Amino acid sequence: NEAKSKLPTYKGLEGYKLVEKMGDGAFSNVYKAIDLASGQKVAVKVVRKFELNSSQDGNKHLNPQFKKRPRVTERANILKEVSIMRGINHPSIVKLLQFFESEEHYFLVLELMEGGELFHQIVKLTYFSENLARHVILQVAEGIRYLHEDRGVVHRDIKPENLLFERVPIIPSSHPVQRQYDEEKEDEGEFVPGRGGGGIGRVKIADFGLSKIVWDSQTMTPCGTVGYTAPEIVKDERYSKSVDMWALGCVLYTLLCGFPPFYDESINVLTEKVARGYYTFLSPWWDDISASSKDLITHLLCVDPAQRYTIQEFLNHPWCKEAPAPLPPPT
């Protein structure tokens, strides 16, 4: 197999057999792999050390080819990602199983998410029905609730590329796009709303590369007391959680219609649109989508972070509490 022969070997990763590449980013490659000691299927995120930095202090270097050396701050970043993930245990969050490093790489061994990115499912299906979108977004929201309220962690990079399906989702045959698929392929399964989502399966939050712990009276008790904390700190920490809520609004919007709320070919125009919170529920795509979901999105894509919904307000919104519509009678 050609794809397999292209897989690299990493010094320090001898305990794992790489099976296939699952994703790549600027600084990392993610592989499906087998832990040879246990036989367990896992994902391994390999982070290259020598590209993490822009070295000015080229005295010693790890990779002669690049003559670069990681700076202490960037090493600290990856260790922060690891330490945040280690403190986390929730069904909506990808688990970190192991962490180790070699001279040239950091290795994060993660729970394998065989179904891949939510992003790819949106592309495949064009858009999600409201029930399907609710099923997905509530799982993500439960993960965010746990991070914000139980752990004092802000993720800061919530987006469809960082939301992963545990296994390949079986899309409901009632989905308009799927209907066409079904005529060609055999029907693999039925989506049963209210029963753990039937075939669509679990969605989890990945990629804690940008996450940080915020000051939180419940999870962290810094040396000072609340009474001595400056207002800009209190406000800043409160508002930093709201970045995840904005992102959650963008994901929900995208799920429901198939395109993001803010887009422009020009980065300057796009930046201006985001800054002003300028988006619309574009006709005809949004015509048949419920007023309730629009109301919820409006409270998330709200420029003033003080007005924006918190995760608890999100979860209490009527749209989140709605039971999925009953299945149509069998034909």
Report if residue 23 touches ligand ADP, rule: CB under 6 A: yes
Report if residue 166 touches ligand ADP, rule: CB under 6 A: no
Using the contact rule CB under 6 A, the part of the chain among 22-30, 61-69, 72-80, 231-239 near ligand ADP is 22-30
Report if residue 142 touches Mg ion, rule: CB under 5 A: no
Do residues 244 and 155 make contact, with C-beta atoms less than 8 angstroms apart?
yes
Give the shortest CB-239-to-ligand ADP separation in angstroms: 24
Report if residue 94 touches ligand ADP, rule: CB under 6 A: yes
Do residues 225 and 215 make contact, with C-beta atoms less than 8 angstroms apart?
no
Q: Are strands 153-154 and 212-213 parallel, antiparallel or unpaired?
A: antiparallel
Q: Residue 94 binds what, of Mg ion, ligand ADP, none (CB under 5 to 8 Å, by partner type)?
A: ligand ADP
Give the shortest CB-153-to-Mg ion separation in angstroms: 16
Q: Which of 74, 101, 161, 182 binds ligand ADP (CB under 6 A)?
A: 161
Report if residue 22 touches ligand ADP, rule: CB under 6 A: yes
Report if residue 162 touches Mg ion, rule: CB under 5 A: yes
Site for ligand ADP in 281-300 (CB under 6 A): none
Cα 160–Cα 161–Cα 165 angle in degrees, nearest 5:
80
Q: How far apart are CA 140 and CA 143, in angstroms?
A: 5
Using the contact rule CB under 5 A, the part of the chain among 201-209, 218-226, 229-237, 291-299 near Mg ion is 201-209
Based on the residue annotation, tell me whether 35 is a catalytic residue of this protein. no
Do residues 61 and 76 make contact, with C-beta atoms less than 8 angstroms apart?
no
Q: How far apart are CA 254 and CA 269, in angstroms?
A: 19
Report if residue 112 touches ligand ADP, rule: CB under 6 A: yes
Report if residue 33 touches ligand ADP, rule: CB under 6 A: no
Q: What is the CA radius of gyration of the chain?
A: 22
**Among all chains, which residue has been given the structure tokens 């802000």?**
154
Give the shortest CB-176-to-ligand ADP separation in angstroms: 26
Q: Annotate 168-235 with DSSP letters as a single string.
A: -----TTSHHHHHHHHHSPP-----TTSTTGGG--EEE---TT-EE---TTT---SS-GGGS-HHHHH
Q: What are phi and psi of 132, to 5 degrees?
A: -65, -45
Give the shortest CB-24-to-ligand ADP separation in angstroms: 7
Which one from 35, 57, 150, 157 is the annotated catalytic residue?
Answer: 157
Residues that bind ligand ADP (CB under 6 A): 22-23, 25, 27-28, 30, 43, 45, 94, 110-113, 116-117, 161-162, 164, 206-207, 209
